[in-house]
Amino acid sequence: MATAGELTIRPVRPADRDRVVELTKDIWNGHDYIPAVFDDWVGDAASSFQALEVDGEVVGLQRLRPYAPGLVWYEGLRIATSHRRRGLARAMLESAIAEAHEQGRGEMRLATGNLDAVHLFESVGFQRLLDVRWWRGLRVEGGESARIPSPAEAEKLWPAVAASPGIELFHGVMADFNGARDLSAAELARLAETGMLRVGPGGRAVAGLRRPWGNNIAVGFLAGAGGSLRELLMALRFEADADGLDDVVVSLPREHPAADDLLASGYDFANADDHSYIYALKL
Ligand SMILES: CC(C)(COP(=O)(O)OP(=O)(O)OC[C@H]1O[C@@H](n2cnc3c(N)ncnc32)[C@H](O)[C@@H]1OP(=O)(O)O)[C@@H](O)C(=O)NCCC(=O)NCCS
Protein backbone atom coordinates (compact mmCIF):
# COMPACT_ATOMS: atom_id res chain seq x y z
CA MET A 1 0.00 0.00 0.00
CA ALA A 2 1.47 3.37 -1.01
CA THR A 3 0.48 6.62 0.65
CA ALA A 4 1.31 10.22 -0.18
CA GLY A 5 -0.36 12.83 1.98
CA GLU A 6 -3.97 11.76 2.24
CA LEU A 7 -3.74 9.70 -1.00
CA THR A 8 -3.82 5.94 -0.63
CA ILE A 9 -3.26 3.42 -3.38
CA ARG A 10 -4.54 -0.02 -2.40
CA PRO A 11 -5.89 -3.17 -4.09
CA VAL A 12 -9.44 -2.96 -5.44
CA ARG A 13 -11.78 -5.16 -3.37
CA PRO A 14 -15.06 -6.86 -4.36
CA ALA A 15 -16.88 -4.41 -2.07
CA ASP A 16 -15.68 -1.51 -4.29
CA ARG A 17 -17.92 -2.66 -7.14
CA ASP A 18 -20.75 -0.11 -6.66
CA ARG A 19 -18.32 2.78 -6.35
CA VAL A 20 -16.39 1.66 -9.43
CA VAL A 21 -19.61 1.44 -11.45
CA GLU A 22 -20.54 4.94 -10.25
CA LEU A 23 -17.08 6.36 -10.98
CA THR A 24 -17.06 5.01 -14.54
CA LYS A 25 -20.67 5.93 -15.38
CA ASP A 26 -19.75 9.17 -17.14
CA ILE A 27 -16.56 7.88 -18.78
CA TRP A 28 -16.78 7.39 -22.57
CA ASN A 29 -20.47 8.31 -22.54
CA GLY A 30 -21.30 5.41 -20.26
CA HIS A 31 -19.49 2.84 -22.44
CA ASP A 32 -16.58 2.17 -20.12
CA TYR A 33 -15.71 -1.54 -20.13
CA ILE A 34 -14.47 -1.64 -16.53
CA PRO A 35 -17.82 -2.63 -14.94
CA ALA A 36 -17.92 -5.60 -17.35
CA VAL A 37 -14.45 -6.83 -16.41
CA PHE A 38 -14.60 -5.82 -12.72
CA ASP A 39 -15.13 -9.33 -11.33
CA ASP A 40 -12.37 -10.84 -13.49
CA TRP A 41 -9.96 -8.09 -12.57
CA VAL A 42 -10.67 -8.28 -8.84
CA GLY A 43 -10.27 -12.07 -8.95
CA ASP A 44 -7.03 -12.08 -10.95
CA ALA A 45 -4.22 -12.63 -8.45
CA ALA A 46 -1.53 -12.45 -11.15
CA SER A 47 -2.31 -8.79 -11.84
CA SER A 48 -2.57 -5.76 -9.64
CA PHE A 49 -5.89 -3.86 -9.87
CA GLN A 50 -5.55 -0.75 -7.74
CA ALA A 51 -7.79 1.94 -6.31
CA LEU A 52 -6.78 5.46 -5.39
CA GLU A 53 -8.50 6.78 -2.31
CA VAL A 54 -8.69 10.44 -1.38
CA ASP A 55 -10.10 11.10 2.07
CA GLY A 56 -11.46 7.55 2.18
CA GLU A 57 -13.26 7.70 -1.18
CA VAL A 58 -12.21 5.75 -4.28
CA VAL A 59 -11.53 8.32 -7.02
CA GLY A 60 -9.05 6.51 -9.24
CA LEU A 61 -8.28 3.11 -10.77
CA GLN A 62 -5.43 1.43 -12.62
CA ARG A 63 -4.19 -2.07 -13.36
CA LEU A 64 -0.80 -3.64 -13.97
CA ARG A 65 -0.90 -6.98 -15.76
CA PRO A 66 2.22 -9.06 -16.44
CA TYR A 67 1.55 -10.65 -19.85
CA ALA A 68 4.84 -11.85 -21.31
CA PRO A 69 8.35 -12.33 -19.90
CA GLY A 70 9.62 -8.96 -18.66
CA LEU A 71 6.55 -7.11 -19.92
CA VAL A 72 3.77 -5.49 -17.95
CA TRP A 73 0.60 -4.07 -19.50
CA TYR A 74 -0.82 -0.89 -17.96
CA GLU A 75 -4.57 -0.41 -18.31
CA GLY A 76 -7.74 0.87 -16.70
CA LEU A 77 -6.41 4.29 -15.66
CA ARG A 78 -9.43 6.30 -14.55
CA ILE A 79 -9.87 9.38 -12.42
CA ALA A 80 -13.36 10.43 -11.30
CA THR A 81 -14.54 13.55 -13.16
CA SER A 82 -14.93 15.27 -9.78
CA HIS A 83 -11.17 14.91 -9.14
CA ARG A 84 -9.49 15.64 -12.48
CA ARG A 85 -6.56 17.99 -13.15
CA ARG A 86 -5.11 17.70 -9.65
CA GLY A 87 -2.20 15.45 -10.60
CA LEU A 88 -3.92 12.28 -9.39
CA ALA A 89 -3.46 10.30 -12.64
CA ARG A 90 0.18 11.31 -12.68
CA ALA A 91 0.60 10.16 -9.06
CA MET A 92 -1.01 6.79 -9.85
CA LEU A 93 1.06 6.28 -12.99
CA GLU A 94 4.29 7.15 -11.21
CA SER A 95 3.46 4.70 -8.44
CA ALA A 96 2.71 1.99 -11.06
CA ILE A 97 6.01 2.62 -12.83
CA ALA A 98 7.90 2.41 -9.55
CA GLU A 99 6.13 -0.84 -8.69
CA ALA A 100 6.87 -2.44 -12.09
CA HIS A 101 10.47 -1.34 -11.77
CA GLU A 102 10.78 -2.86 -8.28
CA GLN A 103 9.36 -6.13 -9.63
CA GLY A 104 12.18 -6.18 -12.18
CA ARG A 105 9.98 -5.81 -15.27
CA GLY A 106 11.94 -4.56 -18.26
CA GLU A 107 9.19 -2.67 -19.99
CA MET A 108 5.70 -1.29 -19.49
CA ARG A 109 3.35 -1.02 -22.46
CA LEU A 110 -0.13 0.40 -22.88
CA ALA A 111 -2.72 1.41 -25.44
CA THR A 112 -4.72 4.61 -25.43
CA GLY A 113 -6.98 6.65 -27.63
CA ASN A 114 -7.23 9.62 -25.27
CA LEU A 115 -5.11 12.61 -26.29
CA ASP A 116 -5.14 13.99 -22.72
CA ALA A 117 -3.66 10.73 -21.50
CA VAL A 118 -1.13 10.83 -24.35
CA HIS A 119 0.29 14.07 -22.88
CA LEU A 120 0.57 12.39 -19.50
CA PHE A 121 2.27 9.23 -20.82
CA GLU A 122 4.71 11.15 -23.00
CA SER A 123 5.59 13.46 -20.10
CA VAL A 124 6.87 10.51 -18.05
CA GLY A 125 8.88 9.10 -20.94
CA PHE A 126 6.60 6.67 -22.79
CA GLN A 127 7.52 6.34 -26.48
CA ARG A 128 4.88 5.91 -29.14
CA LEU A 129 5.36 2.57 -30.92
CA LEU A 130 2.22 2.37 -33.00
CA ASP A 131 -0.30 4.76 -34.45
CA VAL A 132 -3.01 2.35 -35.47
CA ARG A 133 -5.82 2.59 -38.00
CA TRP A 134 -8.67 0.14 -37.76
CA TRP A 135 -9.87 -1.50 -40.96
CA ARG A 136 -13.03 -3.52 -41.31
CA GLY A 137 -14.06 -6.12 -43.89
CA LEU A 138 -17.58 -7.55 -43.68
CA ARG A 139 -18.18 -11.28 -43.67
CA VAL A 140 -18.64 -12.76 -47.10
CA GLU A 141 -20.04 -16.10 -48.18
CA GLY A 142 -18.65 -18.72 -50.41
CA GLY A 143 -14.89 -19.20 -50.11
CA GLU A 144 -12.31 -21.15 -48.16
CA SER A 145 -11.00 -20.05 -44.79
CA ALA A 146 -7.25 -19.48 -44.47
CA ARG A 147 -4.94 -22.21 -43.24
CA ILE A 148 -3.46 -22.37 -39.73
CA PRO A 149 0.19 -23.45 -40.01
CA SER A 150 1.89 -25.81 -37.56
CA PRO A 151 4.15 -24.11 -34.97
CA ALA A 152 7.25 -25.50 -36.75
CA GLU A 153 6.08 -24.14 -40.11
CA ALA A 154 5.15 -20.83 -38.47
CA GLU A 155 8.68 -20.33 -37.12
CA LYS A 156 10.08 -20.81 -40.62
CA LEU A 157 7.82 -18.02 -41.91
CA TRP A 158 9.70 -15.50 -39.80
CA PRO A 159 12.45 -14.46 -42.28
CA ALA A 160 9.80 -13.65 -44.90
CA VAL A 161 7.67 -11.81 -42.33
CA ALA A 162 10.70 -9.84 -41.11
CA ALA A 163 11.41 -8.76 -44.70
CA SER A 164 7.81 -7.89 -45.52
CA PRO A 165 7.10 -4.32 -46.75
CA GLY A 166 5.95 -2.08 -43.89
CA ILE A 167 6.97 -4.50 -41.12
CA GLU A 168 9.20 -1.78 -39.59
CA LEU A 169 6.05 0.29 -38.92
CA PHE A 170 5.04 -2.26 -36.27
CA HIS A 171 8.17 -1.29 -34.27
CA GLY A 172 8.66 -4.92 -33.29
CA VAL A 173 5.26 -5.44 -31.64
CA MET A 174 1.80 -6.77 -32.46
CA ALA A 175 -0.88 -4.08 -32.74
CA ASP A 176 -2.77 -5.83 -29.95
CA PHE A 177 -4.65 -3.58 -27.55
CA ASN A 178 -4.92 -6.38 -25.01
CA GLY A 179 -1.14 -6.56 -24.70
CA ALA A 180 1.31 -5.78 -27.50
CA ARG A 181 3.77 -8.69 -27.67
CA ASP A 182 7.13 -8.78 -29.39
CA LEU A 183 7.03 -9.96 -33.00
CA SER A 184 9.51 -12.81 -33.50
CA ALA A 185 9.78 -16.38 -34.82
CA ALA A 186 8.80 -17.61 -31.34
CA GLU A 187 5.73 -15.38 -31.35
CA LEU A 188 4.64 -16.82 -34.73
CA ALA A 189 4.99 -20.32 -33.25
CA ARG A 190 3.01 -19.32 -30.15
CA LEU A 191 0.24 -17.85 -32.29
CA ALA A 192 0.12 -20.99 -34.44
CA GLU A 193 0.01 -23.17 -31.33
CA THR A 194 -3.03 -21.28 -30.04
CA GLY A 195 -4.79 -21.26 -33.43
CA MET A 196 -4.19 -17.53 -33.87
CA LEU A 197 -2.06 -17.52 -37.04
CA ARG A 198 -3.26 -17.66 -40.66
CA VAL A 199 -1.24 -18.05 -43.84
CA GLY A 200 -2.06 -17.19 -47.42
CA PRO A 201 -1.06 -19.12 -50.54
CA GLY A 202 2.49 -20.50 -50.43
CA GLY A 203 3.07 -18.91 -47.02
CA ARG A 204 3.65 -15.56 -48.75
CA ALA A 205 1.16 -13.68 -46.57
CA VAL A 206 0.62 -14.02 -42.82
CA ALA A 207 -1.97 -12.69 -40.37
CA GLY A 208 -1.56 -12.78 -36.59
CA LEU A 209 -4.85 -12.73 -34.72
CA ARG A 210 -5.60 -11.15 -31.37
CA ARG A 211 -8.42 -11.78 -28.94
CA PRO A 212 -11.44 -9.92 -30.37
CA TRP A 213 -13.60 -7.46 -28.41
CA GLY A 214 -16.69 -7.92 -30.53
CA ASN A 215 -18.26 -10.55 -32.74
CA ASN A 216 -15.37 -10.60 -35.20
CA ILE A 217 -11.99 -11.92 -36.23
CA ALA A 218 -9.37 -9.45 -35.02
CA VAL A 219 -6.00 -9.13 -36.75
CA GLY A 220 -3.03 -7.63 -34.86
CA PHE A 221 -0.43 -7.86 -37.60
CA LEU A 222 -0.17 -8.54 -41.31
CA ALA A 223 2.76 -9.44 -43.52
CA GLY A 224 3.00 -9.94 -47.25
CA ALA A 225 1.79 -7.95 -50.24
CA GLY A 226 -0.11 -8.20 -53.47
CA GLY A 227 -2.04 -11.25 -54.66
CA SER A 228 -1.24 -13.58 -51.76
CA LEU A 229 -2.12 -10.95 -49.15
CA ARG A 230 -5.38 -10.17 -50.96
CA GLU A 231 -6.27 -13.86 -51.00
CA LEU A 232 -5.56 -14.08 -47.28
CA LEU A 233 -7.65 -10.98 -46.55
CA MET A 234 -10.57 -12.48 -48.51
CA ALA A 235 -10.09 -15.84 -46.75
CA LEU A 236 -10.46 -14.07 -43.39
CA ARG A 237 -13.78 -12.59 -44.56
CA PHE A 238 -14.90 -16.10 -45.61
CA GLU A 239 -13.83 -17.44 -42.22
CA ALA A 240 -15.87 -14.75 -40.43
CA ASP A 241 -18.91 -15.90 -42.41
CA ALA A 242 -18.25 -19.59 -41.75
CA ASP A 243 -17.92 -18.86 -38.02
CA GLY A 244 -21.08 -16.73 -37.88
CA LEU A 245 -19.11 -13.56 -37.09
CA ASP A 246 -19.94 -10.08 -38.40
CA ASP A 247 -16.64 -8.98 -39.83
CA VAL A 248 -12.85 -8.92 -39.76
CA VAL A 249 -11.15 -6.07 -37.92
CA VAL A 250 -7.52 -5.33 -38.79
CA SER A 251 -5.37 -2.97 -36.71
CA LEU A 252 -2.59 -1.68 -38.88
CA PRO A 253 0.02 1.05 -38.38
CA ARG A 254 -0.82 4.29 -40.15
CA GLU A 255 0.84 4.53 -43.61
CA HIS A 256 1.29 0.77 -43.80
CA PRO A 257 1.56 -0.32 -47.48
CA ALA A 258 -1.07 -3.07 -47.02
CA ALA A 259 -3.68 -0.30 -47.23
CA ASP A 260 -4.02 -0.81 -51.00
CA ASP A 261 -4.49 -4.55 -50.61
CA LEU A 262 -7.06 -3.96 -47.86
CA LEU A 263 -9.05 -1.59 -50.09
CA ALA A 264 -8.83 -4.05 -52.99
CA SER A 265 -10.12 -6.82 -50.69
CA GLY A 266 -13.22 -4.90 -49.62
CA TYR A 267 -11.96 -3.44 -46.34
CA ASP A 268 -12.65 0.14 -45.17
CA PHE A 269 -11.31 2.45 -42.51
CA ALA A 270 -13.24 1.94 -39.31
CA ASN A 271 -11.62 4.82 -37.40
CA ALA A 272 -10.60 7.53 -39.82
CA ASP A 273 -11.00 10.19 -37.11
CA ASP A 274 -10.05 8.30 -33.96
CA HIS A 275 -6.65 7.96 -32.37
CA SER A 276 -5.35 4.59 -31.24
CA TYR A 277 -1.81 4.37 -30.00
CA ILE A 278 0.44 1.84 -28.34
CA TYR A 279 3.16 3.20 -26.09
CA ALA A 280 6.14 1.64 -24.32
CA LEU A 281 8.40 2.69 -21.46
CA LYS A 282 11.71 0.95 -20.76
CA LEU A 283 12.04 0.51 -17.01
C1 LIG B 1 -6.88 10.88 -18.57
C2 LIG B 1 -7.18 10.98 -17.08
C3 LIG B 1 -6.80 9.66 -16.41
C4 LIG B 1 -6.33 12.13 -16.49
O5 LIG B 1 -6.56 12.20 -15.09
P6 LIG B 1 -6.16 13.52 -14.22
O7 LIG B 1 -6.02 13.09 -12.80
O8 LIG B 1 -7.10 14.60 -14.53
O9 LIG B 1 -4.71 13.85 -14.81
P10 LIG B 1 -3.58 14.71 -14.05
O11 LIG B 1 -4.20 15.84 -13.31
O12 LIG B 1 -2.69 13.79 -13.28
O13 LIG B 1 -2.80 15.29 -15.29
C14 LIG B 1 -1.65 14.67 -15.80
C15 LIG B 1 -1.37 15.19 -17.18
O16 LIG B 1 -2.34 14.69 -18.08
C17 LIG B 1 -2.60 15.67 -19.10
N18 LIG B 1 -4.02 16.02 -19.03
C19 LIG B 1 -4.93 15.52 -18.16
N20 LIG B 1 -6.15 16.05 -18.42
C21 LIG B 1 -6.01 16.87 -19.46
C22 LIG B 1 -6.90 17.69 -20.21
N23 LIG B 1 -8.20 17.75 -19.91
N24 LIG B 1 -6.41 18.41 -21.24
C25 LIG B 1 -5.12 18.36 -21.55
N26 LIG B 1 -4.20 17.61 -20.87
C27 LIG B 1 -4.65 16.87 -19.85
C28 LIG B 1 -1.71 16.84 -18.80
O29 LIG B 1 -0.51 16.62 -19.53
C30 LIG B 1 -1.46 16.68 -17.33
O31 LIG B 1 -0.25 17.23 -16.94
P32 LIG B 1 -0.21 18.79 -16.46
O33 LIG B 1 -1.33 18.96 -15.49
O34 LIG B 1 1.15 18.89 -15.85
O35 LIG B 1 -0.42 19.57 -17.71
C36 LIG B 1 -8.66 11.29 -16.81
O37 LIG B 1 -9.02 12.42 -17.57
C38 LIG B 1 -9.62 10.16 -17.13
O39 LIG B 1 -9.89 9.31 -16.29
N40 LIG B 1 -10.12 10.15 -18.37
C41 LIG B 1 -11.08 9.12 -18.83
C42 LIG B 1 -10.46 7.75 -18.92
C43 LIG B 1 -9.23 7.67 -19.81
O44 LIG B 1 -9.26 8.13 -20.94
N45 LIG B 1 -8.17 7.08 -19.29
C46 LIG B 1 -6.94 6.88 -20.00
C47 LIG B 1 -7.05 5.69 -20.83
S48 LIG B 1 -5.51 4.93 -21.03
The preferred substitution site among 24, 85, 92 for testing ligand 1, maximizing ligand atoms within 8 Å of CB, is: 85
Please, what are the averages of pLDDT over each run of 10 residues along the chain (283 residues)?
A: 68 97 92 95 97 96 96 97 96 97 96 94 97 95 94 97 96 96 97 97 94 94 95 97 96 94 94 87 97
- 86 in contact with ligand 1, CB cutoff 6 A: yes
The predicted structure's pLDDT at residue 274: 80
C-alpha closest to that of 232 among 257, 274, 255, 201: 201
26 lines ligand 1 (CB under 6 A): no
The predicted pLDDT at position 4 comes to 47
- Assign 64 to helix, strand or coil: strand
Q: Is 117 in the pocket of ligand 1 (CB under 6 A)?
A: yes
User: Nearest Cα to 264, choosing from 239, 221, 232?
Assistant: 232
Bridge partner residues of 221 (DSSP): 208
Q: What is residue 146's predicted lDDT score, i.e. its pLDDT?
A: 94
pLDDT in the model for residue 5 = 52
Q: What is the pLDDT of residue 201?
A: 87
Ligand 1, atom 22, lies closest to the CA of 116
Cβ 116 under 6 angstroms from ligand 1:
yes
pLDDT attached to residue 269:
87
Distances (CA, A) of 54 to 13, 14, 32, 99, 278: 16, 19, 22, 20, 30
pLDDT confidence of residue 194: 96
pLDDT at site 3? 46
**Which residue segments constitute the domains of the chain, with CATH numbers given?**
2-105 (3.40.630.30), 132-281 (3.40.630.30)
